[in-house]
Amino acid sequence: MSLPKDNKDSIPEPTKGLEGIVAADTTLSSVNGEKGILRYCGYNIDDLAFSTTFEETICLLYDNELPNKERLDEMTKNIGEARVLPKEVIEIITELVGKTSPMSTLRTVVSVLGHYEKNVPLKELPPKALRLVGQIATAVAMIHRSRENLPIIEADPTKGHAEDFLKMLHGTDSSKTQVNALNLYLILLADHGFNASTFSARVTAGTLANLHSAITSAVGTLSGPLHGGANEKAMDMIIEVGTKKKASDYIQNAFDTKQKIMGFGHRVYKVDDARKPHLKKMAKKIWEEKNDMKLFEVSEEIEKQVKDRKAIITNVDFYSAPLLYGLDIPTDLFTPLFAMSRIAGWTAHVLEQYRNNRLIRPRARYVGQIDRTFRPIEQR
Ligand code: CMC
């Protein structure tokens, strides 16, 4: 690109999409994209996936340690008690549903929830952050029940987060497999280095804006189809393909017309996403319990057809889709459910940013014209 001389001399070449740029240190999670390993605070998610609960993951991210029984009970109780929304927020949800997407409603709810919180010093911030972890789940369930004109189900703080969310959403008890599946999903998506939404939360926190402003930024960032919005689009594709034999033509057409196939590709992973095998295994289990393997088999066939054509990795959003759909969750709630998990990581990152803050402020390279001659409005 030819640049004005004075710019060219002083500004280095930008890195498009900040690829490969390390923006800060973190002790929360590490992603080894070459080997496909994700660790939370040093623990491989392969060890956490089927042997812990979402509440344990929250303890790990907040304390940097796995909890003992006492700490876990305290966390489960605190999150349970936090699954309550102020009456006025419920009214706002009722007012917004049907007029905008669940994800936009959720973003507004997070912003509004900030009005019910006091400014507190940093050492008192974790309980406030945890409240938001609980509240987001209730908001997602209420958004759904409100638009379906179904009675609101109050939270039961004695239940685990995954189990109670499914109850608040569906109004009925879920099977053990279903609760385990949601737990697994919430554990696996809780944190992932400097993904776009986490980074946006840290940028906002880096200005010393408050917690709810940072999380509102994150929810907005997550909504895009290149990030959290991909799970919904992946499910739309699986449903549209509908049968195994249609997958080949569908994928060929997507490549021929240069469309991005949702649930594939990743900035960091060079081999399949560390979370994929666990999500795939659990999605299969859920559909086996339903005795209906059709959509799961379509998913597998789409994966095969993509890989036959291009060396492209399967990311977290692909098998999240049949897993969530198998839990009877409507597709437009998929990204809000992503937020319901990632809120654990977002809030932990905001706390980490505040503890060792420096304003995040990169530069832009100006590539427009310079030294233009000003003309008054009458002469333009
Ligand atoms: N379908 C088809 N081709 C793809 C895809 C895809 N999903 N992803 C990447 N490619 C190709 C892309 O066309 C390019 O090919 P070429 O070098 O021949 O031009 C190459 O792979 C590199 O792609 P890129 O878009 O430059 O890679 P990126 O690092 O900028 O983008 C991504 C990463 C995740 C945005 C991208 O892979 C994508 O758009 N995937 C689909 C959306 C998606 O599934 N997003 C969820 C991401 S993981 C969870 C999360 O963060 O929320």
Lining ligand 1 with CB less than 6 A are 17, 195, 226-228, 230, 260-267, 312, 315-317
Question: Chain centroid to CA 318: how far?
Answer: 13
Mutate to test the pocket of ligand 1, among 266, 307, 319, 324 (most ligand atoms within 8 A of CB): 266
pLDDT at 320: 98
- Residue 322: its H or E element: helix 316-326
Q: Which of 181, 94, 198 is nearest to 142 (CA)?
A: 94
> Which of 266, 272, 273, 349 does the annotation list as catalytic?
266
* Superfamily of chain region 230-326: Cytochrome P450-Terp, domain 2 (1.10.230.10)
Q: Which CATH number does 29-224+331-355 carry?
A: 1.10.580.10
Beta carbons of 137 and 83 less than 8 angstroms apart: yes
The DSSP call for residue 27 is S
pLDDT at 3: 57
pLDDT at 73: 97
> Which of 161, 278, 317, 349 does the annotation list as catalytic?
317
266 an active-site residue? yes
- What is the residue-level pLDDT of the chain in tens, covering all 380 positions? 555 555 555 778 999 999 999 999 999 999 999 999 999 999 999 999 999 999 999 999 999 999 999 999 999 999 999 999 999 999 999 999 989 999 999 999 999 999 999 999 999 999 999 999 999 999 999 999 999 999 999 999 999 999 999 999 999 999 999 999 999 999 999 999 999 999 999 999 999 999 999 999 999 999 999 999 999 999 999 999 999 999 999 999 999 999 999 999 999 999 999 999 999 999 999 999 999 999 999 999 999 999 999 999 999 999 999 999 999 999 999 999 999 999 999 999 999 999 999 999 999 999 999 999 999 999 99
Q: Which of 156, 195, 148, 188 is nearest to 173 (CA)?
A: 156
The domain segmentation of the chain, as residue ranges, is 29-224+331-355, 230-326
pLDDT at 2: 55
Q: Which of 226, 159, 205, 237 is nearest to 347 (CA)?
A: 205
pLDDT at 12: 84
pLDDT at 297: 98
Mutate to test the pocket of ligand 1, among 226, 303, 309 (most ligand atoms within 8 A of CB): 226
9 an active-site residue? no
